[in-house]
Structure 1
Amino acid sequence: MAATWVRAAWVIAVVLLAAPTGPVLADGARGSETNLPLPRFVSMKATEGNVRRGPSLSHRVDWIYRRKDLPLKITAEHGHWRRVQDPDGMGGWVHYSLLSGVRTAIVHADEVALLMKPVEGAPENARARRGVVARVDRCLPDWCRLRTGGHKGWVRKAALWGIGASETFD
């Protein structure tokens, strides 16, 4: 009987040690502070923002974002802090006051055409290269309408980072 309890305790310890650190996000997860969906996309409101190792001013600054409107993915919340991930997969904790709900996306393909309509072969309004950040006006299942540099047009969602694969909105 004692051996069974010891074995059970050992199994539990192995499972706990193997578990990932931090919150585990399932589909339908909600932020503990905002009750908004996690993960979700936002953008940098400020032109500069510190990215910290943890959710407080006492944590070390690992780097500084210096790009207003940069799309970011919020993966966790703690008080006034949001753990974010950038288009390069790097992340850290940012104060919520530096973030905006304005939707932006970054071109992830080498170059894309901004089309007049969300259909292949539609006339082009402009072209955008990798790294261009644009405001997102609307998203359909496969296309998003972007605005950047005085131009607007439709781009395939697969060429962008900052929009969920199944996300649609007006």
Structure 2
Amino acid sequence: MLPPGTVGGLPLRANPVIRAHAARRAAQGHARRGDAGACRGGALERVRSHAAEVTGDRTPHWGPRIENGNPRLIEASCMLGLSRFEPAADLFAAERLHGSAVPADSNSQARFAVRQATALAGAGRLDEACQIVEATLPVIKRIDSATVGAELGRFVEQARTRRAGPGQLTLIDASAALATG
């Protein structure tokens, strides 16, 4: 019997992309549990560290892209999970403004836009949140992603806790219908 953690007797080693994804998932898990210390102090630092090691990697990409500044988008997502809406909204805005830090694929762009809108809604900035969602809805309809739909559902939950005008309510209801399929 071969020792655990080996293939053909050789040790398994995860490359930086895999380690960064594992750290990202750990950070998001800590954020969902509300453990800011474990999220920020350990896991997010590991995401940054492993992402810095990624150079010319030929690993097939899955999940959010780790390279090109995305650890800050992951940090913003964690702040959202910790219900720290204002810092999350600011981080998303700063990274989305840089453009190069946001992955080029439509799914990732829509996902991070909706996360930014959710943070803005949570921070009481429903006008800005609705503008982002309204601009993103055509892409969301086109890509038909369950992940983006789940993010849109979180936006709807947060937006419904705010005082909304008639146009905002129409957008929130349309978003809810799209989120549930």
State if a TM-score over 0.5 links the two structures.
no
TM-score if structure 1 supplies the norm length? 0.27
TM-score if structure 2 supplies the norm length? 0.26
- Which structure: larger Rg? 1
Q: Which has the higher strand share?
A: 1
Q: Which has the higher helix share?
A: 2
